[in-house]
Amino acid sequence: MKTITIQTIILVLLCLFPFLQYGQSFTKQGEVFSSGSERSSGGNYSNFGILGEPITNPSIAGGNFTSNLGFIYKTSILSSELCIDFGSGYTWFSVNVDPGSFEWNDLFQNLDPCNDDRIIGQNNFVVFNNGTWIYNPVFSELEPDRMYIMKLCNSQEWCIQGQPVPVDQITLNPGYTWIGYTPQATLPINTALNISPTPAIDDRLGGQYQFAAYTGTQWIGGLSELVPGEGYKIKLTNGGLLNYGGSDENKNSHSMKQDELYNPLNENINQNYQYTMNIVCKVILPNGGYASNPNDA
């Protein structure tokens, strides 16, 4: 009979921890502004170049630059795209693209839910029944600065196109606030989170599978960057105001992919549970020491 040690249990738990993977594409339309006060006519955003670079090609991004080319001092996106790979079960998400309507049936018209599938907000929820999303009138549409949880019977990809939403200030109450991520670019957590007043030590930001804690000077933890399409739960001792940091320039479209599991034991693992948690632990080696190699997990 095999003896199961605490080391084995910890190792299995760590091995089953899911890691998120995200893809990006650069196919949206935008325009370039030159230092010579000229403006392009719009083009493929991947051809814009980098801010501060000299404009040596008058046709950059489909531009119509003539004499005074100068350098690229600003870029502006005209449209954006967001794709979310909703898994079977529960997925935390937010929406940073405005397709023209955030009413639930308009926004998710290209989804194929089952009866009793749900969209859950912090204080309300929407239920799918007989071909339509049913909701309370006070909860009639999605708000981009809020996080939601999508519960679906089957996994499916959902995409929308539209204008980037405004990156407005978000009020954070003491305790937990479900927040959406409105910027168009992935940002390191310490760049993205500009909160006033300064959070208290051990205040936390949680994603669906990872979290970060505030040390008094910075956020540290497995949640190292914020990503378009994701949603987060922030816990603050005193509340505050959140202004997302980082540049609004060089935005692009994002695709939020479903989780890929590191599963060397080939266990049958379900994903996208309604409730998630994180485990912080030490791996004890047979000699009594602690594992320090990050690949041990």
Q: Which residues contact 269 (CB under 8 A, 6 or more apart)?
A: 16, 261, 263
CA distances from 238 to 121, 188, 215 (A): 22, 23, 15
pLDDT in tens, the chain (297 residues): 444 444 443 333 333 333 333 333 334 556 666 665 566 655 555 555 556 666 666 666 555 565 556 666 666 666 788 999 999 999 999 999 999 999 999 999 999 999 999 999 999 999 999 999 999 999 999 999 999 999 999 999 999 999 899 999 999 999 999 999 999 889 999 999 999 999 999 999 999 999 999 999 999 999 999 999 999 999 999 999 999 987 444 344 444 444 454 555 555 555 555 556 555 566 777 887 777 765 555
* Tally of CB atoms within 10 A around 230: 24
What pLDDT, on the 0 to 100 scale, is given for residue 289? Answer: 78
DSSP string for 212-241: EEE-SS-EEES--EE-TT-EEEEEESS-EE
Looking up tokens 């089952």, which residue turns up? 114
What pLDDT, on the 0 to 100 scale, is given for residue 250? Answer: 39
CA distances from 239 to 162, 170, 180, 235, 245 (A): 32, 11, 16, 8, 18
- Order of all β-strands in the sheet with 193-196: 170-172, 240-244, 193-196
CA distances from 108 to 41, 118, 271 (A): 32, 12, 22
- In eight-state DSSP terms, residue 197 is S
Looking up tokens 């060397």, which residue turns up? 264
Cα dihedral 49/52/57/59 (nearest 10) = 60
281 vs 283: CA distance, rounded Å: 7
What pLDDT, on the 0 to 100 scale, is given for residue 252? Answer: 44
35 vs 213: CA distance, rounded Å: 42
What pLDDT, on the 0 to 100 scale, is given for residue 257? Answer: 47
Closest by Cα among 52, 49, 51 to 63:
49
Closest by Cα among 83, 69, 7 to 258:
83
99 vs 97: CA distance, rounded Å: 6
